[in-house]
Amino acid sequence: MKTPLDKVQDLISLALDGGPNQEESRNAAMQAVRLIRKHDLLVGAVPVRKLRRTTEIVSAQRTKKLAEEKANQVVSDLVKKSILGDFPVIRATQITDEMHQIGVITQDQKETFYKQLRVCLLSKVRHGVLISKSGWQGGYQLARSGK
């Protein structure tokens, strides 16, 4: 039979997993806190802010990775469309809103996702894969060869 400390460690690792189900992660963290309080497992003063920052960092890292993957997927989609002769303009705000609407990112993650997506898209501009469209509508477009 597991000790309360073992249970708490399992719950904390589940909470920090960063898996697709955020509700499960949150519930695991709350259950871990309950067990810590119930069995008086705190030794000395543990700064709660430090624990909170750790989960925020994990969430931010996951969001950045998700944005990078989405940027690569967008470029791949644009390449496929260009084969058909279509050169659509994409916008980071539009992609971010779509990701939020389908539930891939939360409202809290939108700003981090948007910033990271822009960084990734601008990197593609520097490498000559995309071009940046200026003007009030802005956006990015696949760089056409020979242009």
Domains, the chain, in order of start with CATH, read: 1-46 (no CATH), 63-147 (1.10.10)
Give every CB contact of residue 122 below 8 A, 6+ residues apart in sequence.
132
Could you tell me if 29 and 15 are in contact, meaning their C-beta atoms sit under 8 angstroms apart?
yes
**DSSP per residue over 44-69, as a string?**
S---HHHHHHHHHHHHHHHHHHHHHH
- Mean pLDDT, residues 120-142 taken together: 81
> pTM above 0.85?
no
For the chain, the residue count is 147
E strands, 10-115, where?
none
Q: Which of 55, 43, 62 is nearest to 105 (CA)?
A: 62
pLDDT, position 66: 81
* pLDDT tens-digit series, residues 21-47: 777 877 888 888 787 777 777 654 444
pLDDT greater at residue 54 or residue 78: 78
pLDDT greater at residue 38 or residue 94: 94
Q: Which DSSP letter does residue 40 get?
A: T
Average pLDDT over all residues of the chain: 76
Q: Which of 113, 121, 118 is nearest to 59 (CA)?
A: 113
- Report the range of poorest mean pLDDT among 72-76, 81-85, 104-108, 121-125: 81-85
